[in-house]
Structure 1
Amino acid sequence: MDYNLYVRHSGGKEAPDQAGAFTDRAYQAFMAAFEREYGGGRVPLQVGFHFTLMNGGAYWKALERFAEEVCVRDDVRCVSYREYLDETDLEPLVRVGG
């Protein structure tokens, strides 16, 4: 999750001057997690993000680069949680709003 990276990288304090380094580190973390599943059990990788730019947008930039490289692979699908649940006939553990 982007917030976890934010806290790990900068202690939860904005450090936009280090955005480039944080982007690279986050991208490497996303790729390592992906490659672990891609070459192993093929468990769907979940990436959680907030609608905010932390550390100069470092985590959004890392996610964009990751998606551009991974989501175009022939045997990879990037979908929302809702699409995944609809396609697997699984129900969320908690229903919000009714």
Structure 2
Amino acid sequence: PLIPEGPKARPVVAMDYNLYVRHSDGAEKPAMAGEFTERAYQAFRAAFDTQYNGKRLPLELGFHFTLMNNGAYWDALERFAGEVCVKADVECISFRDYVARQRASRAQASVGG
């Protein structure tokens, strides 16, 4: 999904690599990791708050198993998850689990005609 990011809230795909390219043109800039972490966190949090206070659509964030810009995006994700995943009415699950739930829900809806 697209989420607003940065000072002008320009849309970006909610994935670490897309933030990496937006922030540093795909080149490591470890000295700016703190700024990139904060921008990513603010984008994640704003996207979550929009859904939490609105339609409650699932928020999907995509991550690779690599550290970009000195781990800025993983740091942002850890902070974000630590704040929202502990809410009683929020579930943080893998995409695999989400798909399984959707399939089970569709199967349940079709039982009994």
TM-score over 0.5 for the pair: yes
- Flag as ranges the 4+ runs of structure 1 deviating above 4 A: none
Pairs aligned (count):
90
Work out which of the residue numbers 26, 31, 45 in structure 2 matches 1:12: 26
Alignment of 1:35 with 2:35, yes or no, is no
Alignment of 1:82 with 2:91, yes or no, is no
Question: Which residue of 1 is the match for residue 7 of structure 2?
Answer: none
Residue deviations 1:7-59, cap 9 Å, x none? Answer: 11111110000000100000000001101111111110000001110000000
Deviation of 1:89 (Å): 1.4
| Separation in 2, partners of 1:34, 1:81 | 16
The percent of aligned pairs where both chains have the same amino acid is 66
What 5-or-longer segments of structure 2 have no aligned partner?
1-14, 105-113
* Paired amino acid for 1:2: D
| Separation in 2, partners of 1:47, 1:29 | 11
Deviation of 1:86 (Å): 1.5
How is 1:45-56 mapped onto 2 (pairs within 5 angstroms)? 45-56=59-70
What 5-or-longer segments of structure 1 have no aligned partner?
91-98
Using structure 1 for the length normalisation, give the TM-score: 0.89
| Separation in 1, partners of 2:102, 2:26 | 36
Any idea what SS the aligned residue of 1:73 has? coil
Using structure 2 for the length normalisation, give the TM-score: 0.77
Question: Which residue of 2 is the match for residue 73 of structure 1?
Answer: 87
| Separation in 2, partners of 1:62, 1:33 | 13
Question: Which residue of 2 is the match for residue 25 of structure 1?
Answer: 39
> Which of structures 1 and 2 has the bigger CA Rg?
2
